[in-house]
Amino acid sequence: MIWPTRRKNRYQYYNYNHDGLYFITICTHKKQSFFGDIQNGFMCLSPAGSIAYEHWVKINNVYPFIFLDRFVIMPDHIHALIGIKKYGSSPPKTGTDKTCSLPKKHRRQFELLPKIIGQYKRSVSKKIRQHDPFLDFQWQKSFHDHIVRNGYQRFYIQKYILNNPKNWDISV
C-alpha cells in the first residue's frame, strides 16, 4: 500500500532554535474532548485538563530560557504563545526572519521548539495514563505553529486566546 505524503508543518529553512515568539496549537487525537468543557463562556477543566495545565506552567522549570505568554486549555486543544529567549534578559517581543544555516541532515536535532512540545506531550500523556489507565488519551501528531513577527500579531493572538472559550459555542 502506498501511504499519502504528509504535509510538513514546519518552515523548512527556519531555525526553531532562534529567539522568537511562537503561536502554537496542540490538538488531541480526533479532536476528542479530554480536557473538560465550556460552560457559560468559561473552560471547566477535567482531571486530564488540570494535568495539561499543570505541566504547561512547569515548562519554565525545565527550560529557564522559555517565556510563557498567554495560553488556554480548550476541550480538545491548547492554544499558547511561547517564546524562546536564550540571549539577553528580557522576554522575546517577536520572531525573527533568521534562517537556518545548518546542513540539511543536521537541522532536525537543533529544533528546540518541537523538542519542547514533544517533551510536554509525552509528560502529559504519561501522567494522564497514570491517573486514569482506562482513558484512551492520545495527541494528534505534531502541532501547528505560527512565528509571531510583530507586536500587532502578538496583540491579535493574545486577544484570540483570551476570547477562545467565549467564542467556543459560536464556532462549534
pLDDT in tens, 40-73: 889 999 999 999 999 999 998 888 889 999 999 9
Flag whether pLDDT at 164 surpasses 50: yes
Nearest to 46 by CA among 26, 79, 74: 74
Mean pLDDT of 17-30: 91
Residues 6+ apart with CB under 8 A from 37: 43, 44, 46, 75
- Side-chain-side CA neighbours of residue 61 (13 Å): 6
109: pLDDT strictly greater than 60: no
Q: How confident is the model at residue 99 (pLDDT cuts 50, 70, 90)?
A: very low
Which CATH number among 3.40.50.2000, 3.40.50.11540, 3.30.70.1290, 3.40.640.10 corresponds to the domain 20-167? 3.30.70.1290
Per the prediction, the chain carries an average pLDDT of 83
pLDDT beyond 80 at 103: no
Stated pTM of the model? 0.81
- Backbone CA torsion sign across 104, 109, 112, 114: positive
